[in-house]
Amino acid sequence: MDQGIRNNESLKDTGILILQRILPHYRTGVFKRLSERFRNLTIVYGKPAANESLKNEKSPLPNNFVEVKNHYPFGSSKIFFSEVFRVVSLRKPKVVISVFNVGNLNLYRLFLLRKAFGIKLILWSFGYDPHRGFQPDKNFSDKIRLMMCQNADAVIFYWNKGKNEVEKFSKKKEHYFVAPNTLDTEILTSIRTRLDSAGRESLKRELGITEKHHFVYVGRLLEDKQVDLLIKAFGIFCGETGDGRLTIIGDGPERQNLEALAHQTEGRIVFAGEIIDEETVGKWIYISDAFVMPGRLGLSVVHSFCFGTPVISQKKDIYYHGEGIGYIKDGFNGLLAIDGDTTDLAKENEADC
């Protein structure tokens, strides 16, 4: 891909607009990298819904990152539209790459007006609903999704499974592509190099970790993340080994409930809150025996692997996990416990020590 970009100078000057609903901090690194390669790239985003735990990047951004107003007519983040067309009119992009879900009401207008604007419309998508898979023959929302996929100029999927699921029902497939969902791994691996120089034991002392075994969770504290299962499993682990600490990095509506649940572990579980600084988070991942993510696997796997730390999660049905599951080889770079079994999850923690 890089070589193709280098060999096509005209592509570097093509006006491209990437439309995101919001801009969480983990997305900005990749978009900044793309901005270095494409001279006429605009990133458009808006504010999260009022009740949403995921927030936008807080640090200053380059001028090609443009914030517009988002509207949530039903209060939920699932259905929204943005004041993006003023930016489209001013910047006159040749290509619009949009976050793709059927609740993104901008897409319907973009499909109608793309010829008038003279733009190519590319959809960027996971591929299907992880709660139910992809069933356009049974589900109306999936039927709309399939129709959009078939009529877009191109569709970029996060991973091969997403593409494969949609292809099963598609007459046209040649405009489907895969660009693995990722983080700015160049920054993360450069941090890893510095941490290698410092050494694991030195960093453990810096972070105040005296226990032999340390585990980490990094993510939002939401019900579907199943952090409660992790806390229960860690309690079993501590009871069997007599040693260990779990650091939970992140915040969210479940924090108070989880802290109450963790009270029984006598201080072996520490809630560090949200940490944005990549080097600090990297240290916690680097010194850990494992990164434990009981819930849906996505970019957390990439994050952990950049620091050489294995991932522990659960075996789920074929649609539950995100693209991160594709990177895990059970027993090699990660471990997958029986779904919902705290005892088995505790055993996997012990096996990884």
Tens of pLDDT, residue by residue over 79-122, are: 999 999 999 999 999 999 999 999 999 999 999 999 999 999 99
State the total domains in the chain: 2
Note down the domain range covering 33.
2-178
- pLDDT surpasses 60 at 1: no
Question: How much is the pLDDT for 352?
Answer: 67
- pLDDT surpasses 60 at 6: no
- pLDDT surpasses 50 at 3: no
Q: What percent of the chain lies above the pLDDT cut of 90?
A: 84
The average pLDDT across 298-307 equals 97
Is 155 in the same domain as 283?
no
Task: For residue 177, list its beta bridge partners.
Answer: 156
Is 233 in the same domain as 126?
no
Give pLDDT tens digits for 192-229.
Answer: 999 999 999 999 999 999 999 999 999 999 998 999 99
Is 199 in the same domain as 56?
no
Q: Please tell me the distance from the alpha carbon of residue 55 to that of residue 47, in angstroms, as a whole number.
A: 8
Helix, strand, or coil (residue 279):
helix
Is 203 in the same domain as 66?
no
Q: 261 exposed, middle or buried (CB, 10 Å; 0-12, 13-18, 19+)?
A: middle
- pLDDT surpasses 60 at 19: yes
Is 279 in the same domain as 194?
yes
Last residue within a domain, chosen from 144, 163, 178: 178
Give pLDDT tens digits for 70-79.
Answer: 999 999 999 9
Q: Could you tell me if 98 and 19 are in contact, meaning their C-beta atoms sit under 8 angstroms apart?
A: yes
- pLDDT surpasses 50 at 4: no
Helix, strand, or coil (residue 51):
coil
Domain of 61, CATH number, reads: 3.40.50.2000
Q: Please tell me the distance from the alpha carbon of residue 271 to that of residue 259, in angstroms, as a whole number.
A: 8
Give pLDDT tens digits for 261-277.
Answer: 999 888 899 999 999 99
Is 312 in the same domain as 199?
yes
Confidence label for 8 from pLDDT (cuts 50, 70 and 90): low
Give pLDDT tens digits for 164-202.
Answer: 999 999 999 999 999 999 999 999 999 999 999 999 999
Confidence label for 12 from pLDDT (cuts 50, 70 and 90): low
CA distances from 8 to 37, 75, 102, 137, 174 (A): 11, 44, 33, 41, 22
- If you average pLDDT over every residue of the chain, what do you get? 93
Last residue within a domain, chosen from 178, 204, 230: 178
